[in-house]
Amino acid sequence: MSETRIGTIELGRTGEQVSSLALGAMQMGHATAEPEAIRILDRYRELGGSFVDTADCYEWWQRPGSRGGESEELLGRWMRDRGNRDEIFLSTKGSALPVYDEALWAADGTPDWELARRTFAGAGADTLRHALDGSLRRLGTDHVDLYYVHVDDRSTPLEETLEALAGLVTAGKIRYLGWSNVRTWRLERIRQLCDRYGWPAPVALQQQHSYLRRRAGATTASIVDDEQLDYLTEHRDLSLVAYSPIVKGIYDDPARRAEHWMMESYAGPDADARLNVVTGLAAELGVTPNQLVLAWLLHQSTPPVLPLIGPRTPEQFENLVPAIGLKLSVEHLAALDAAGA
């Protein structure tokens, strides 16, 4: 019996068909050593996947003195060795690499995220132009298929950012644009400016999105909320690319849920209720809760969701493969959707 292959989905309203399950390379080059990263990449390709995601800042925080770029360099070597650049829908990001400062790392190597967030490179015109050129050099290519503003930069006029990005599209260095970690009102302002000046508008929105819903009172702009889901349902020219779709694998492991920092954005009665339902249905279907959540995301249509997985090991990747072919009934989907406090 052959394995189910990864399908495709249209990117916004571009006519471009991309893999319905994207592969994130964030950990490749540090947390995931190169031989294991290559195994994951090759296996993803074997299953029909071609949408690979990285960023210029990955993973500066792993090593004192790092300026990021290790993931891009690894992907560049892989594409060169495999001769497959033309088969890969390649996305990367700029704006989130912090200004270099020895204080970014404590004596024990721990990164100072508060300092990093205060000193992100941002989305100024020159900053983005230089960041993209660096990414292209490391990736060994003359263009990327999708380029995101990684963190929304409110200190730079949107007109400056959008005009610079339009120039990079015209120059052939970028095919499509995206935005990440951004609020809905900012998205609408971006789209209005693009319409006014004839600039290319974003076709992808990369946000944190999973089966759990962010808790009441959480202020992060990175997690999709009800308003953003409604906006995306009405604006199908903008695809939702969902990062951390299984929230670092917490659905399978109560102990991991109890200790993982990402749960701070979700914890509460609503999360407890949804975890109970997803755990029970997974047992009934003979799958893991992580697999069920990923399958649920792949079934979404209002709006469609394109999950972006980031396995650290080949084993973690294989543990998610069954989700690709898992078919959920109308009753299963209704039970999952109805759960919550």
φ and ψ at residue 153, rounded to 5 degrees: -110, 105
Sorted by sequence, the CB contacts under 8 Å of residue 51 that are 6+ apart come out as 18, 19, 21, 22, 23, 88, 89, 91, 306
Task: Please tell me the predicted confidence (pLDDT) of residue 11.
Answer: 98
Task: Please tell me the predicted confidence (pLDDT) of residue 1.
Answer: 42
- CA-nearest of 229, 171, 227, 181 to 202 is 181
Task: Please tell me the predicted confidence (pLDDT) of residue 303.
Answer: 98
Per-residue pLDDT for 341 more than 90?
no
Do 23 and 309 touch, CB atoms closer than 8 A? yes
d(CA 126, CA 120): 14
Q: Kindly tell me the sign of the dihedral angle through the C-alpha atoms of 284, 317, 244, 8.
A: negative
Task: Please tell me the predicted confidence (pLDDT) of residue 3.
Answer: 79
Q: Which domains does the chain have, with CATH numbers?
A: 8-249+292-324 (3.20.20.100)
Per-residue pLDDT for 300 more than 90?
yes
Mean pLDDT of the chain: 97
Per-residue pLDDT for 290 more than 50?
yes
pLDDT tens string 127-181: 999 999 999 999 999 999 999 999 999 999 999 999 999 999 999 999 999 999 9
Q: Kindly tell me the sign of the dihedral angle through the C-alpha atoms of 74, 260, 296, 3.
A: positive
- State the pTM of this model: 0.97
- CA-nearest of 3, 51, 35, 40 to 204 is 51
Per-residue pLDDT for 2 more than 70?
no
Task: Please tell me the predicted confidence (pLDDT) of residue 174.
Answer: 98
Burial of 314-324, coded b for 16+ CB within 10 Å and e otherwise, reads bebbebbbbbb
Lookup result for tokens 């939702």: 240
pLDDT tens string 22-68: 999 999 998 999 999 999 999 999 999 999 999 999 999 999 999 99
pLDDT tens string 236-278: 999 999 999 999 999 999 998 988 899 999 999 999 999 999 9
The residues facing 301 across adjacent strands are 304
pLDDT tens string 87-103: 999 999 999 999 999 99
Cis? peptide before 59, omega within 30° of 0: yes
Kind and range of the H or E run holding 255: helix 254-259
Angle subtended by helix axes 330-338 and 289-298, to nearest 10 = 100
Cis? peptide before 303, omega within 30° of 0: yes
Do 46 and 111 touch, CB atoms closer than 8 A? no
- CA-nearest of 216, 92, 105 to 148 is 92
Q: How many CB atoms lie within 10 A of CB 1?
A: 3
The residues facing 125 across adjacent strands are none
Do 147 and 165 touch, CB atoms closer than 8 A? yes
Radius of gyration of the chain (CA): 19
